[in-house]
C-alpha cells in the first residue's frame, strides 16, 4: 500500500473517544466499549458512538417529547427508554406517565417528576446490568436543530434566516436612507 499524497496528513473526522475528561464518562465508555466488542448487539455500538459526541450533538430531550414519541409504543410500561443526553422537565406536560428512562443525566425537576409518577430514572451503567444487549428498550435522541444558534445559520440575502439584530424596531436594520418607503432616500 502506498501513501495517499492528496490527503496525506488529513485526520479522520470520526471520534474514537470522547473529548471530555470527565472520569465518569470515561468509565461508561470503558463499559460500553467492552459490551460493543463482546456482544453482537448493534445497540451497544450506537450507545458507544453517542457517548463520544460533543454536547451540541447530544441535545436534551424533554419529558413531553419522550411521552409523545413513545405514546404509540406497544407495552411501553415494560420497556426502558434510552437517551444519551440530558432529560429535562417540561411544565406544559401536566400528567407524566409512568416511565423507565435511562439517560446520561436528568435535571432535578425531571427526576422528581419521573419518580413521583412511579417511574424510574436509570443511569447507563444500571441499564447495562439490566439489559446488556439493549433488549426491551426504546432508543431516542433530541432534536439537534432546536438550538437558538441554528436559526442564524446560512444568513444571506433572500435566505429568511434570523438576523443578529438587537431589536426589530424602527431604528434597526430597516434600510433607512436607502429607500423612500423606509424613512428617506439619499
- Could you tell me which residues come within 8 angstroms of residue 121 by beta carbon, excluding any fewer than 6 positions away? 87, 101, 103, 106, 110, 111, 114, 115
More confident: 155 or 77: 77
117-130, pLDDT tens digit by residue? 999 999 999 999 99
pTM surpassing 0.75? yes
147 has a pLDDT exceeding 80: yes
Q: Given pLDDT bands bounded at 50, 70 and 90, which one contains residue 169?
A: confident
Q: Tell me which residue of 99, 138, 126, 127 sits closest to 115, measured CA to CA.
A: 99
* DSSP state letters, 33-99: HHHHHHS--HHHHHHHHHHHS-GGGS--EEHHHHHHHTTTSTTGGGSEEEEEEEEE--TT--S----
Q: Which of the 8 DSSP states describes residue 185?
A: B
Instruction: Report pLDDT digits (tens) over 12-64.
Output: 889 999 999 999 999 999 999 999 999 999 999 999 999 999 999 999 999 99
User: What's the longest Cα–Cα distance across the chain?
Assistant: 73
Mean pLDDT of 162-186: 85
pLDDT grade, residue 168 (50/70/90)? confident
Q: What is the pLDDT of residues 62-112, one digit of tens each?
A: 999 999 999 999 999 999 999 999 999 999 999 999 999 999 999 999 999
Residue with cell 417511574: 119
Distance, CA of 43 to CA of 178 (rounded, Å)? 58
Question: Mean pLDDT highest for which of 117-121, 157-161, 165-169?
Answer: 117-121
Q: Report the pLDDT value the prediction gives residue 158, as an integer from 0 to 100.
A: 86
Amino acid at each position: 500500500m502506498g501513501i495517499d499524497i492528496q490527503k496525506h496528513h488529513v485526520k479522520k473526522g470520526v471520534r474514537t473517544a470522547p473529548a471530555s475528561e470527565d472520569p465518569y464518562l470515561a468509565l461508561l465508555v470503558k463499559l460500553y466499549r467492552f459490551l460493543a466488542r463482546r456482544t453482537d448487539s448493534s445497540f451497544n455500538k450506537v450507545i458507544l458512538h453517542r457517548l463520544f459526541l460533543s454536547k451540541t450533538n447530544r441535545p436534551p430531550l424533554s419529558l413531553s417529547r419522550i411521552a409523545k414519541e413513545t405514546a404509540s409504543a406497544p407495552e411501553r410500561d415494560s420497556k426502558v427508554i434510552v437517551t444519551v443526553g440530558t432529560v429535562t422537565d417540561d411544565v406544559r406536560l401536566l400528567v407524566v406517565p409512568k416511565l423507565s428512562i435511562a439517560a446520561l443525566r436528568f435535571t432535578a425537576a425531571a427526576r422528581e417528576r419521573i419518580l413521583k409518577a412511579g417511574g424510574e430514572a436509570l443511569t447507563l451503567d444500571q441499564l447495562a446490568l439490566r439489559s446488556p444487549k439493549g433488549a426491551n428498550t426504546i432508543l431516542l435522541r433530541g432534536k439537534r436543530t432546536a438550538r437558538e444558534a441554528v436559526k442564524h445559520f446560512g444568513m444571506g440575502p433572500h435566505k429568511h434566516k434570523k438576523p443578529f439584530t438587537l431589536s426589530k424596531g424602527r431604528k434597526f436594520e430597516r434600510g433607512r436612507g436607502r429607500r423612500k418607503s423606509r424613512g428617506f432616500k439619499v
